[in-house]
Structure 1
Amino acid sequence: MRGLLHGEGAAAEHAARTDNPHAVTAAQAGADTAGAAAAVQNLLAGHTADLDNPHQVQASQIPCLPWENVAEAISDINNQLNKTAETQYKWAKSQYQLSQAGTSTRFVTVNAGKLPYSHTIYYANEVTVTADHKVMLVNPTALTYTGQQIEESRATYISLLAGKYVSHDSSATASVFYIDPNPSIVCTYNSTDKTYTQYFTPAYTVSVVRQSSGYVYSESRNAYPDAGEQDGYYYEYAGEENTAIIPKIVTGTYTGTGAAQTILLGKRPKAVLLGGDGYNSAGVYYKATMVISNYSPLSTIAIVDTGFTVSGNTSAATAFSKSGVTYWYAALL
């Protein structure tokens, strides 16, 4: 009895054994069956490595476009980068402008066979161009006199009409002249045909001319009229050209103003990448649509013919328009 109490002999030996002398099973002890934990671990590792969207997450559940839209944009941009030429439609661009002929002429005030001769002319400080491209005096003043009066008071009439626009009619149908700021009045008499002539010189003919502004191109056949005006310019269709494509990426920065602003790039970009200085925000815009972003979009980026316009929620730095924040851009032209 004493030996058993003190763990001596066979009892002590039995207590020290660790090889399960009673052959107790895992099921009897309430444990998992052999190998089950390893199998679970293998399944977990396989699930972690599964990139085929095992949870079937949809694009609508996260703030981005469906993959087919992203793929389309990337494919289109890639095609632009690898194109060697594209068909562009061409227009001659010009603008109606006032012109004062460089060669001096004279403005005849009197051409008569007998004195005194009464005549009315009109003068003004400025002229305008009418809708049908005619020159017309602005707020003209009528001046009626006889040839004898103007001959006898040359200094008065020179002071009155020097540097003015003059015409024999106040409508847009008559010719308009510009009197030199330092003119002379010339009076002549032809004894053969008995005619008396009086004129200001030098004077310059004022007309409306269409001055060329070069050519414009577009991928759209309907971008400009074939022969007509649009936004103050006159266009004439000049055919199409195969223009070599040289992809270019331009980069730069701008400072937000707290309001909508247009970043000028000189032409319409095919895509724009934007980011904020010191902010974990970036977005790729393609055809004015956000394609890829690491935040919920707070701004509207409009890709325009001259660059891109930033607008939207101006209170957030990720809107690309917050006042005082520096933003960077990379544009594919």
Structure 2
Amino acid sequence: MTALNRTGVSHTVFYLLGIPGLEDQHLWISIPFFISYATALLGNSLLIFIILTRRSLHEPMFLFLCMLAGADLVLSTCTVPQALAIFWFRAGEISLGRCITQVFFLSSTFIYESGTLLVMAFDHYVAICHPLRYTTILTHTLIGKIGVTIFLRSYCTVFPVIFLTKRLTFCKNYILPNTACKHIVLAKISCNDIRLNIWYGFFVLMSTLVLDVVLIFVSYMLILRAVFHMPSRDARHKALNTCGSHVCVIILFYGPGIFSVLTQRFGHHIPLHIHVLLANVYILIPPMLNPIIYGVKTKQIWDLLVHLLFPRQR
């Protein structure tokens, strides 16, 4: 261990414990981690390949889905390999620079995925509430601008976290009770006043994730109002079925993430290993299940996937 242990000297190397209190179970815990990561890599890569190589899928909904799959790949890749290295080889040592880099990409990608889910809700709103103007509203130019805006929002809001973390001094502890570096987890083991870190983290949460949830909720209220005014029962069923996959993905993404944040802030009586396991759920489950949900529920993708995997049965 190269981290210095003298009072007044800031550590530059830390040690990730993995799942604290469950170290003897790490080998068994690694199995669902590995299966989830392998499924996420295969499913999202296949989804991106199908969408990008099929001109018939170069529509707003599928382009947004491609953005979501890309975010899922980054979200899982920047954390799960590190966790598997801890479980399999006890390779928990990580430098401060790598730790801050992981904090940046994990937080910004989470916000980017949230923004992508918001624009997918907007896509459904336009498709159902303004179907005749759909192609004139959601042009490729607008989609490009939306993608750039989401990217800039996610990375610009998280960028100050780099400096807020680098200003901290770690003179007492170099042990991180987690599988990955998190902003608040890192701040809590520092010797400084971390109120600025806490309040900025709260500002980022409210101005991105919470705002996205509110806007998605408003979008679906408008969608439901339009659906229930449709004269045909078949039209109502088709419209609701179109939104089904997106609603499932929203629940999978925001549910565990918000619950994890709330338990970290207010669940002081909950055992530490439960906090860490909950924090890993929103990294493992959505990237694994998102391509499965859209692959099964979206006929165009399912047909192309069957044709790709079983060309002779077509």
TM range (shorter): under 0.3
Larger proportion of strand: 1
Greater helix fraction, Structure 1 or Structure 2: 2
